[in-house]
């Protein structure tokens, strides 16, 4: 933290995106942003957000610059207010944030973004929070951000007691190395944001209650696969959770169809790779991008196969990433 004579306090942080293996969709408590079901994810080292938060008494109000463009600060102000309450002050903040991957395109930029925001803001505010407390703060901005506070394999619990929905690490990123090939089919923002999509699904999909009722058994299967390092079981449950999620989206009124032609072609390519003997499994969040889970030794060949699919504009190979952490204040290019 830097505290100048003028009362300016600043800090920077980096957090990595994550992809859910056992997914959530929908809210149990909207004001507290508590998901309707728990989720389990892995953190990706190739996708990250760098954020600098500067509390400055000279500012008229909170300001946000995302990927070098000024954006409305309305979404980050409630989270900053929580940090300011803990810090015992009301100074406005300027936030500079940059993603090294497409923003709002179904690659969990809100997860890494809010995780980096709370780490940087708490550091700048002098708030000494535990990782669990940071996870709870990040969840208020984006539920998946609670998971990006941690590296490796992470579970988000949905306990309601004392605002206690928080994430915790199941396995460190070094304990069971896996790779993820990210196939990007559209760099643009998705047409329906996740929050709006969740609200529509919970209100209109006839299968939503079954999704909620079956969630704990799905979590138990994914948790067991991670504990036993059973890649086949983990991959099968990951694909099942993905397709169950998109079945909910397809049966929402009006339907939520985030996929494009390349998304469907990638699904078939992964299935063909698996049929030919390469152990690999797909997952897709609210967007058209496909993430492919594989063993590290197979990642290059899988990336080449995915890159050859018509409509794929970029592929990235990622290992498992570390948890969110502070950085020097020049990390985002802001001071």
Taking only the tens place, the pLDDT of each residue in 63-84 is: 999 998 999 999 999 999 999 9
- Average pLDDT, whole number, for the chain? 93
* Averaged pLDDT, 124-146: 95
Mean pLDDT of 325-329: 88
pLDDT at residue 106 in the model: 73
| Angstrom distance (rounded) from CA 223 to CA 228 | 9
The Cβ-side half-sphere exposure at 102, using a 13 Å CA radius, reads 20
> Taking 50 as the threshold, does the pLDDT of residue 285 lie above it?
yes
For a pLDDT cut of 90, what percent of the chain falls above it? 86
Residue 101 — pLDDT band, cuts 50, 70, 90?
Answer: confident
Please tell me the predicted confidence (pLDDT) of residue 161: 60
pLDDT at 164: 67
Rounded to an integer, the average pLDDT of 253-260 is 96
**Residue 160: predicted pLDDT:** 58
Percent of the chain with pLDDT over 70: 94
Q: Residue range 46-58: average pLDDT?
A: 97
Q: How confident is the model at residue 334 (pLDDT cuts 50, 70, 90)?
A: very low
What does the pLDDT look like over 22-32, one tens digit per residue? 999 999 888 88
pLDDT digits (tens, 9 = 90+) for 168-215: 999 999 999 999 999 999 988 888 988 899 999 999 999 999 999 999
Q: Summarize the confidence of residues 320-328 as an average pLDDT.
A: 95
């Amino acid at each position: 933290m830097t505290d100048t004579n003028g009362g300016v306090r600043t800090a920077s942080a980096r957090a990595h995106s994550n992809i859910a293996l056992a997914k959530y969709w929908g809210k149990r408590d909207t004001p507290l942003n508590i998901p309707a079901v728990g989720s389990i994810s892995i953190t990706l080292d190739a996708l990250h957000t760098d954020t600098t938060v500067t509390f400055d008494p000279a500012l008229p109000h909170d300001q946000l610059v995302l990927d070098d463009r000024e954006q409305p600060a309305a979404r980050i102000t409630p989270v900053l207010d929580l940090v300011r309450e803990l810090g015992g002050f009301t100074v406005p903040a300027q936030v500079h944030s940059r993603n090294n991957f497409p923003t709002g395109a179904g690659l969990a930029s809100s997860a890494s973004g809010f995780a980096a925001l709370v780490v940087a803001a708490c550091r700048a505010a002098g708030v000494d929070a535990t990782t669990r407390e940071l996870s709870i703060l990040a969840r208020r901005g984006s539920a998946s951000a609670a998971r990006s506070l941690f590296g490796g394999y992470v579970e988000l619990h949905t306990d309601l007691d004392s605002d206690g929905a928080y994430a915790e690490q199941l396995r460190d990123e070094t304990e069971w190395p896996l790779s993820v090939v990210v196939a990007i089919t559209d760099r643009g923002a998705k047409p329906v944001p996740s929050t709006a999509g969740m609200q529509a699904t919970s209100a209109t999909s006839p299968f939503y209650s079954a999704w909620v009722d079956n969630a704990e058994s799905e979590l138990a299967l994914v948790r067991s696969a991670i504990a036993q390092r059973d890649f086949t079981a983990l991959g099968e449950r990951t694909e099942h959770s993905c397709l169950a999620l998109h079945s909910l989206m397809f049966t929402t009124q009006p339907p939520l169809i985030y996929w494009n032609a390349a998304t469907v072609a990638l699904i078939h390519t992964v299935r063909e790779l698996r049929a030919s003997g390469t152990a690999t499994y797909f997952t897709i969040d609210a967007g058209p991008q496909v993430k492919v889970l594989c063993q590290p030794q197979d990642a290059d060949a899988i990336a080449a196969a995915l890159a050859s699919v018509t409509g794929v504009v970029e592929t990235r190979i990622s290992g498992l990433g570390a948890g969110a952490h502070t950085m020097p204040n020049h990390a985002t290019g802001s001071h």
